Structure 1
Amino acid sequence: MAGPARPLPALPSKWDIREKVWEYLEASGLAEFPRPVRGRIPNFKGSLQACSSLGELDVFSRAREVKVDPDKPLEGARLAALQARKTLLVPTPRLRTGLFNRIVPPPGASKEILRRCATSQGVKDYSVPVGLDGKAQVDLVVVGSVAVSEKGWRIGKGEGYADMEYAMMVSMGAVREDTPVVTIVHDCQVLDIAEELLGDHDLTVDYILTPTRTIQTNCKRPKPQGIMWHKVSSEMLGKIPILRTLRSRERQAGKDVTLQDEHPALANTNRAAISDEKATAANSHVESDPVNPKSQGSATTTTVYVGNLPGSLRVSELKSALRELQVIPVGLKWQGAQHRAFLDYSDRGTAHRAVSSLQGLSLGGNALRAELARSQRSRGQGEISRHK
C-alpha cells in the first residue's frame, strides 16, 4: 500500500533566482564595477567580449535603429551600434524624464569619443530626447538580465522597467510583433527557469549572448502587446510622467486604462493609502506608533504581518516581490529596523493569498514569516506590540 504522497518541492521564486545569481557572481570573482551587483543588472567579467558578438548577428546587421538599455554590462553593445553607424536609442534611467534619448556623436567623432558616447556619462552628454511623437521605429532591442533561460524566459532585477519600456514601445508603435530582442549575460546567468514564473507582462528574448556562446532561443511565447494597465500601480504611474501621457491618449482612444489598485469604490482609499505609505517610509516614528489613529486601517482592512526581513532589504525590493506575486496591498507600513512590515488589504481573500505567497519566500537570503495580524488594525490596539 502506497504511503502518503509527499508534497512537491516549491519552485524557486524569481527572487530566489536573482539572489542565487548575485551571490554567485560576487563569490566567484566574476562581478565587475559597479559593486555590489545585488539589486542591479549585474556587470561581469567578459561583458565586452559578449557584446562584441552582437555585430555577428544578422538581425543587428539589418537593423537601422537599435534600442540598448543603459546598464553598465551593455556598454559594449551601445559602442557596437555607434561604430556601425546605427541610430542608438537609450531609455532614460527609470523613465524619469521621458522614454528615449537618441545618442548623437559629434561630426567626425573618433573611436575614443564613440567609446565615451557609449558610457552612462556619454549618454547624458551626447544625447537628445525623443518624445512620444518622435516616430521611433526600433529594429532591434537589447536588454540586460539578471537571469535568462535557453528557452528565452528572462528575469530582470525586479522593478519592471524593461518590461514597461517594451510595452510603451508597443503602445507608441515603435516596435513590431517580430522585432527581435537580445540579452547579454555571463554564462553563469543562463539557468533553467520554470515558465510558470512568467507573467503575461514579462518580456522574453530571442537571442542570448555570453562570453562563450550565441544562443538563439526560438521562443514562441508572445511578447507583451502593449501596456497592461490593470498591472500598473498608481505608484508607478506617479513616478513615470510619460506613462501618464500614454494613459491619457489611450483613454481618449476608448481603451480601458483602469489601474491595478483602482476601483470606483476604493479610489479615494487607495490614493490615501499611497500618500500614507510615502509618509511612513520617511517617518519611522509614525510607522511604529500602534495607537496613532492616522495609522489605523478601516474596519474592512485585513492586515498581514511579514517578519524576518533582512536588514539589508529595501522597501522597494519588498514592493517588487509583492507586484510579482500579484498581492499588492492598499497600504504598507515598513519597519525595516525591526525586520518587519505590515501589509493592509481591502479584502480578506487577497490577504490570505499574500500569506500563502510570502510564507517561506526567500528575500535577501532570509525565509520570510508571514501570517494574518493577530489583532486587526480596525480594532485600534496592540497589533504591532504583539509581534515584538
Structure 2
Amino acid sequence: MSGGGEYVNDIESSKQALREKVWRRLIDGGGAPADSYGKIPGFYGAEATAEQLAGQDFWQRAATVKANPDWAQLPVRVRALKDGKRVYMAVPRMASLEPFYLLDPESLGLPPEEAAEKKGAAQTARRLGVESMEPIDVVVCGSVAVNRSGVRIGKGAGYSDLEVALLIEAGLVTDETVIVAPVHPLQVIEEDIPETEHDFSVDYIVTPDEVIPCPDRRRPPGVVWDDLTAEKLAAIPVLAARHRARP
C-alpha cells in the first residue's frame, strides 16, 4: 500500500493481533472447528444465525443479496435462495473481469444447498460484471471479528472491502443498502478496531441469539485507488481495467 506507510503498517499489525486473539478464543471456546484459524470461521450456529437474519424486516423486504463465498455464510446464501432472493456471490479472489456470480432462484438448475456452494455456483451461475447487476438491498460480509460500533475485520486479504467499494462506486450499494455481519457471539469483541480509509462498517451484527444494531455507519466513497499496490491491481482484472480507464 502507498501513502502513510508506517501508519498503515501499524494498523495492519493491530488488526492481525485482534484476528489471532479472536481465532484462538473462538476455537478454544468451542465456537468453531480447529481448522478455522486463518480463515473466515465456519462457526457453529451458522444455520441459527441465518434464521435470525431471515426474521428481520430489512431481510424480508430485500430482493437482492450480495454475499461472500465463504463456507461460514453458506446457510445465509441458501436461505436467501429459498426466500426467493437473487444472490450475487463474489467469484473467489475476484479473479475475473466479471467478478460476481448471479444465483437466480428462478433458474438455479441445482437445489439451493448445492447452488449456493462455491462448486455449485461455478457450475451453474452466470458471471456478471457490475454493469449488468441490479442495486443490492443487503450485503452479507464474512468477518473474523466485529465490535458493537459495527467495525469489522476479515481475514486480511481485503477482498470484502474491495467488493463493497467496487459496488459503491458502481452505484449498486447505496445508503439504502443494509450491511450485516453474521458471526458467532465469541467473534463480537469490546475492543476498538483501527480503521483505514477503505474500511466499511456494518449496520447489524447477527448471531444465533440476537441482532445487534450498530450506530456508527462508515462507508468509503468507492475504491481508494491510492491504497492499491500494483500487485493487487494486477491480481484483480476488474480493478486493473477500471484503473486503466480512469481519467
What TM-score does the superposition give when structure 2 sets the normalisation length?
0.89
Decide which structure has the larger Cα Rg and report it: 1
In structure 2, the residue matched to 1:219 is 216
- Give the aligned residue type for 1:21: V
118, 121, 129: which one pairs with 1:120? Answer: 118
Q: Please name the residue that 2:42 is paired with.
A: 43
Q: Deviations over 1:26-85 (max 9, x none)?
A: 2233223xx521221011111111111111111111111110111111011101110111
Read off the aligned partner of 2:112 and give its amino acid letter: L
Name the aligned partner's letter for residue 17 of structure 1.
L
Q: Helix, strand or coil: the match of 1:54?
A: helix
SS at match of 1:208: strand
Q: CA deviation at 1:105?
A: 5.0
Tell me which of 214, 217, 238 is aligned to 1:242.
238
Encode CA deviations 1:133-184: one digit per residue, 9 max, x unaligned: 2043111100010000011011111111100101111122211133110010
Q: What secondary structure is seen at the aligned counterpart in 2 of 1:176?
A: coil
Note the C-alpha offset of 1:205: 0.2
Code of the residue aligned with 2:186 in structure 1: it is C
Residue matched to 1:198 = 195
Give distance in 1, aligned partners of 2:154 and 2:108. Answer: 37
Partner of 1:172: 170
Equivalent-residue separation in structure 2 for 1:241 and 1:107 (angstroms): 28
Matched, 1:20 2:21: yes
The answer for the alignment partner of 1:207 in structure 2 is: 204
Distance 1:56 1:192 in 2: 26
Q: Identity rate of aligned residues, in percent?
A: 33
Give 1:127's aligned amino acid. Answer: A
Q: Tell me what 2:100 maps to.
A: 100
Q: How many pairs align?
A: 236
Task: Give the secondary structure class of the aligned counterpart of 2:16.
Answer: helix
Q: Structure 2 CA distance, aligned partners of 1:131 and 1:139?
A: 18
1:141 and 2:155 equivalent? no
Q: Structure 1: how far apart are the matches of 2:93 and 2:175? A: 24
> CA shift at 1:106, angstroms?
6.8
Which residue is equivalent to 2:73? 74
Please list the CA deviations of residues 101-155 of structure 1 after superposition, one character each: whole Å capped at 9, or x if unmatched: 001357597xx81111122222222210012320431111000100000110111
Greater relative contact order structure (CA < 8 Å, 6+ sep)? 2
What is the CA–CA distance in structure 1 between the aligned matches of 2:205 and 2:65, rounded to whole Å? 16
Q: RMSD of the alignment, in Å?
A: 2.0
Q: 5+ unaligned residues in a row in structure 1: which ranges? A: 1-9, 255-388
> Partner of 1:223: helix, strand, or coil?
coil
- C-alpha separation in 2, matches of 1:107 and 1:164: 28
- SS state at 1:138 partner: coil
> 1: distance between equivalents of 2:130 and 2:170?
7
Partners in 2 of 1:218 and 1:124 — Cα distance? 37
**Residue 99 (structure 1) shift:** 1.9
CA contact (8 A) 2:67 2:89 kept: yes
C-alpha distance in structure 1 between counterparts of 2:146 and 2:219, whole Å: 15
Query: TM-score by structure 1 length?
Result: 0.58
